[in-house]
Amino acid sequence: MTTDAEIAVLEALAAQGEILEAKTGASTPPFRSRLRLVDRQRRLLLFDRSIDQAADKALLALPHARLQIKWGEWRVAFVAANPVSYSHEGSEAIRLDFPETVEIGRRRMHQRTPDPQPRLRCAAYVGDASVFDAVVTDLSRGGIGLEIDFTADELEPGTILAGYRLESQGREPVSVDLEVRHTTSEPHGPRILHAGCRFVNPSPAAMALIAAYTEVT
């Protein structure tokens, strides 16, 4: 359940008029808007309509949305379900269910490359059989973001993933050890896990691959 401290952070974002963003699809603009109301009874959040009607329409078509903001030195993110149009105090708003948890953490020390291209995957094998397969959603010299069709309780923060491989078309795969730092699961629909991991003593070969994506020289 969302804690009182997490609610206080959401209320501060609303009071200061900070803009939160949600991806709405590969071919549609992101939804960017301000929090209008944070329900302390943990039933709903209200957002202002954005300035882009296409973004509003795309958000309303989603079963849930992952909203986030870089706020000073902090990063705040959460998943909220069931976006619907909502009338509030005489104007139109967008209502979402209250998130189950809110991620609050300091921003990365290293520059992040989102959606690295060509596509990068993180995999593990037993013999020739794949036992782990994740899409890399972001990458930096310090760590990696993963999206996995997985169950959250099998990747607890602090878990060490030893001997996993980073694979990219046209490049030799490299072996990396990762430490899981945080995880977030989607509350509805297919079980998708978002995991943030740090590299543990990456090899020169791993750093060379990372540099190719992050333009580190």
User: What percent of the chain is predicted at pLDDT more than 70?
Assistant: 91
Question: Do 168 and 89 lie in a common domain?
Answer: no
| Torsion over CA: 74, 78, 84, 86 (sign) | negative
Residue 165: predicted pLDDT: 94
Residue 217: predicted pLDDT: 38
Which tens digit of pLDDT belongs to each residue from 96-153?
999 999 988 766 556 678 888 888 999 999 888 888 899 999 988 888 999 887 654 5
Question: Do 87 and 142 lie in a common domain?
Answer: no
Question: Do 13 and 77 lie in a common domain?
Answer: yes
Last-in-domain residue among 76, 106, 136? 106
Residue 21: which domain range?
Answer: 4-106
CATH code: domain of residue 144: 2.40.10.220
Question: Do 94 and 172 lie in a common domain?
Answer: no
Q: Whole-angstrom Cα distance, residue 28 to residue 182?
A: 28
Question: Do 175 and 128 lie in a common domain?
Answer: yes
Q: Whole-angstrom Cα distance, residue 140 to residue 115?
A: 11
Ordered alpha helix ranges (H), the chain: 4-15, 53-60, 204-214
Mean of all residue pLDDT scores within the chain: 87
Region 157-184 average pLDDT: 89
Question: Do 119 and 181 lie in a common domain?
Answer: yes
Look up the pTM and report it: 0.53
More reliable by pLDDT, 154 or 99: 99
Which tens digit of pLDDT belongs to each residue from 14-46?
999 999 999 998 778 999 999 999 999 999 999
Domains of the chain: total: 2
